[in-house]
Structures are given as structure tokens and as C-alpha cells.
Chain A
Amino acid sequence: MPSSSESWRALLARHGPALVVFARQWAATHADAEDALQDGFVRFLQARRRLEDEVAYLYACVRSAAIDAARTRGRRRRVDERRAAPEPVFADVPAQMELAASVEAALARLPGEQREVMVMKIWGELTFSQIAAALNSNPNTVASRYRYAIERLEAMLADEVRHE
């Protein structure tokens, strides 16, 4: 455990909900995403070597835990799990339900590398440098992925409005 035990609690409170949305990219349910968040946090706390940016490193830990859990689940997947109704990613707020459902559907259609950048930027409020550190990538690359993601999401949401 790190000496600054309060700081990880603050990190959990501050980034927990966004990290769950982030982990949902590889998890079918909110509970699975929370499990991945727990594993990721434990990896973060037990790590001896830290990146310069703790938040970026935390995202990297949760990402790797969620991917590992998805691989394990994939091997053990049961038929009834596939039949289960999908759980919403966002909170159940009546005024936002329509937009939330549309965004969720549009996010699912984005390529994974654009989606993860978008989640980290919009809901995690990470800078492009932090996202690049978490993904072991380049800030310009993640910025361009984000730009493409926003453009595609905008187009998908506009299409949906036209079809209604």
C-alpha cells in the first residue's frame, strides 16, 4: 500500500465513475466493470514503479485489468450471459435517457482505439498527454483519434435524428 492512502481514495472518488465507463468497453455489465476497476486499482497500489502521472497510470492499470478479465470471461462465456439484456453505461436520468442511449449505441460502433480515447477525454477529463501516457502512445496520435471519434459520433447522432 502506498503511504498516501488518502490519495488513492481521492483518486477512486474522483475517477471511479469514469473508470467504470472506461472498463465497460471490455465488460458486459456494470459489476464486471467494477471488478476490473478493483483489479486495476490493486495493480496500481501494488506497483513499485510508477509513471510520472498517477492518473494516466491508473487508467493503464484498469485498462489492462479489464482486457485480462475480458479474455478470461471470453473463455468461460455461457449462453445465458450472451442472452442477458445489456446494462446501461450511463446513470438512469429521465431527462438524459434518450441522448444516453444514442451515445451508448454510437460509442459501441466506434473503433476501440477511438472509443477509449474518447472516454478518457470526455468523462475521465484526461489531457491528450495523459491519454498518450496511459496508452503508451503519442499525444498527436491520440488527439487525431479523438478528433475522428468526435466527427464520427456527431455524424452517427445526426443520422439518428434525421431517421426519427
Chain B
Amino acid sequence: MNDEISDLETRLAALKLRTISPALEPAIVGAAQRPSHASVRFFWSAAASGAIAASLMVAMLVAQSNGNAHPAPLAEVALKVPAGSAPLAVLARADVRWGDDFGLNDNPSRP
């Protein structure tokens, strides 16, 4: 790098620059104290995301509570015990293994 200052550089550096407006300094102070565009954008995007997440959660909770609002009567879902059969036999029918143990799966048509 050649750091020697030429005559042209000296003449250029001697050119007087225009002064800046005195209003610039208070304008900078005022503008710097306002929230920046980036922070405003960040705030609104965070707020919007939070609102969407909250709405989704509320919607899910409402849907869930609506689903459970009128549960089927216990009598409908309860295992219907045929009259006269032992409860154990009814339970055993639910599982083939138990049925074998209790001789409930005996089918004469089966080899």
C-alpha cells in the first residue's frame, strides 16, 4: 500500500463539507427512543403466534368437552350379561384363551 499523500488527495481533503442540520441530533434522539421496526414486527408476530396457539388450545378443549358432554349411559356400554350365566363365563367368552380353559370354545363342528 502506498500511504504517500498526493497533491490531489490534499486538495480533495481541503474541500469544505456542508454542515449538518442542527435539527438532526434531536431527531436522532427521538427516533432512537421509538421502538424499532424490527422490534415492533417481532412483538406483533409473537403476539399473533400466541393468539393462534391459545385459540387452538381453546378449540381443542371445547371439542373435547363437547365429546364427553353426553357420554353413553353406563347401561349401554356395560357388558350385557345373559340371564342365568355365570359372570365368569361371560368374561371368559371375551378371551379365547380363557374360553379354552373353561371349555367354552368347544365346537363340535371344529376338528
Contact = CB atoms under 8 A, between A and B. Distances in A.
Interface residues of A, number: 39
Contact of A12 (B15, B18, B25): B25
Contacts of A91: 15-19
Contacts of B11: 99
B78 interface: no
Interface residues of B, number: 24
25 contacts: A1-B33, A16-B24, A17-B19, A21-B18, A30-B18, A38-B24, A38-B31, A39-B31, A41-B32, A42-B28, A42-B32, A42-B36, A46-B36, A91-B15, A91-B19, A96-B14, A99-B15, A100-B15, A122-B12, A122-B13, A123-B13, A123-B17, A125-B13, A128-B1, A150-B9
B26 to A, nearest CB: 10
Contact of A37 (B1, B9, B20): B20
B27 interface: yes
Contacts of A153: 8, 12
A116 interface: no
Interface of B: 1-2, 6, 8-9, 11-21, 24-25, 27-28, 31-33, 36
A8 B17 CA distance: 20
Chain A interface mostly: helix
Nearest to A95: B16
Nearest to A21: B17
Interface of A: 1, 8-9, 12, 16-18, 20-21, 30, 34, 37-39, 41-42, 45-46, 88-91, 93, 96, 99-100, 103, 122-123, 125, 128, 139-140, 143, 147, 150, 153-154, 157
